[in-house]
Copies of this chain bind each other. A is one copy, B any other.
Amino acid sequence: MLKIGVIGCGGMGRSHIDRITNRTQGAEVVAVSDVFEEGAKKAAAIAGEGTKIYNNGKDLINDPDVEAVLIVSPGFAHVDDLLEAIKLGKRVFCEKPLCTTAEDCKKVMDAEVASGKHLIQLGFMRRYYKGYTQIKDAIATGEYGEPLIMHCTHRNPEVPTSYDTPMAVTDTVIHEIDLCHWMVGEDYDSVQVIMPKDTKFTHSKLRDPQIMILRTKSGVTIDVECFVNCKFGYDINCEVVCEDGALKMGMPLAPEIRKSASLSREITTDCFVLFKDAYDEEIQNWVDCAAAGVIEGPNTWDGYLAEVTADALVKAQQTGAIEKVETVEKPEFYK
């Protein structure tokens, strides 16, 4: 039974505590921490009696009862807790982003490499969605040849007015940044952003929709339509065009309805509905791997690459030009 401490007791944190407590095999939450005492108490109640409560991550990480740490605090607060956990050699599941600057990501990466142990898994849960794994598995058969192009859409029904142009990268396409490089097994070379005509549903601080183009080192080209006020649904699509065939992600199981002169099926409007099973799989996989002392999911390098690529995309939003993705050389440790 893996004893987990959870740092960050907001909505997502409580959701993970519920998941570990009620739908994950082989793990339990033994401690929680939050700067807000109220949130920490609520979270502890989900985990059950006897759960310890801390008001900072450092103390939680240092609790000898805590074997592994789940970080769900705001992104800017990640770096210190990550370094502390590495120092103590404790396994970490960290919600995205790894850190909010490339420098901090690199600091964490260097510390992990120096520790000699793979300790950190990032919360890019889409890698656990069956829709994607089916395509990745199909590519891996070799039957379709090399991937050449990926077409993606990331459409949300709507976003709050606080959501602005850079957030299309940092909050939305950040998922495709991780996912696509994982799907084709390659890091990025350069990026570009194209701004189509705006929808009437956006405001002066948000260009919407946007088309983001990512290019891997070997030239695989990925276009992502990011449309966060599309109104009609949470509509995630992905087609990989290969040399010997093309693979398009299927739609989730739903009834075909005949009514009112139309044959239809629902498109969900809720990302947590679409990816519910993926979240469960992600945590279960981390727990299983932690027990085995390995990491199968996205690692620190993936977190660093995502951060650097996101920076390049945000720059490309402003310049309209093709921007290079400049990383340090990938450490042997992550190959």
Question: A-side interface residues toward B, CB under 8 Å?
Answer: 22-23, 25, 130-131, 134-135, 138, 143-146, 148-149, 151, 157, 194-201, 209, 211, 213, 215, 218-221, 223, 225, 227, 230-233, 235, 241, 243-269, 320, 322
> Which of chain B's residues have a CB closer than 8 A to the CB of A246?
230, 232, 257-259
In the bound complex, do residue B264 and residue A263 qualify as a contact, i.e. CB atoms below 8 Å apart? yes
CB distance from A17 to the nearest CB of B (A): 14
* Option from B151, B231, B320 in Cβ contact (under 8 Å) with A245: B231
Beyond the given A131-B253, A231-B244, A262-B266, please list 5 additional residue pairs across the A-B interface where CB-CB is below 8 A.
A194-B215, A232-B262, A233-B261, A246-B259, A263-B265
Q: List 12 A-B contacts (CB under 8 A).
A: A131-B253, A131-B255, A134-B254, A146-B199, A148-B209, A194-B221, A198-B219, A223-B223, A232-B245, A232-B262, A249-B256, A251-B263
State the oligomeric state as a number of copies: 4
Chain B nearest Cβ from A144, distance in angstroms = 7
Complex-state Cα separation, A10 to B194, whole angstroms: 43
Residue in contact with A256 in the complex, picked from B201, B215, B247, B260, CB distance below 8 Å: B247
In the complex, which residues of chain B have a beta carbon less than 8 angstroms from the beta carbon of A148?
A: 196-199, 209, 227
B257 & A138 in contact (Cβ 8 Å cutoff): yes
Q: Which residue of B lies closest to A284 (CB)?
A: B23
Question: Which residue of the partner chain, among B198, B213, B264, contacts A264 with CB atoms under 8 Å?
Answer: B264
How far apart are the CA atoms of A298 and B264 in the complex, in Å? 31
Question: Which residues from chain B contact A266 at a C-beta distance below 8 Å?
Answer: 261-263
Q: Which 5 A-B pairs have the closest CB atoms?
A: A197-B219, A264-B264, A245-B259, A196-B221, A248-B256
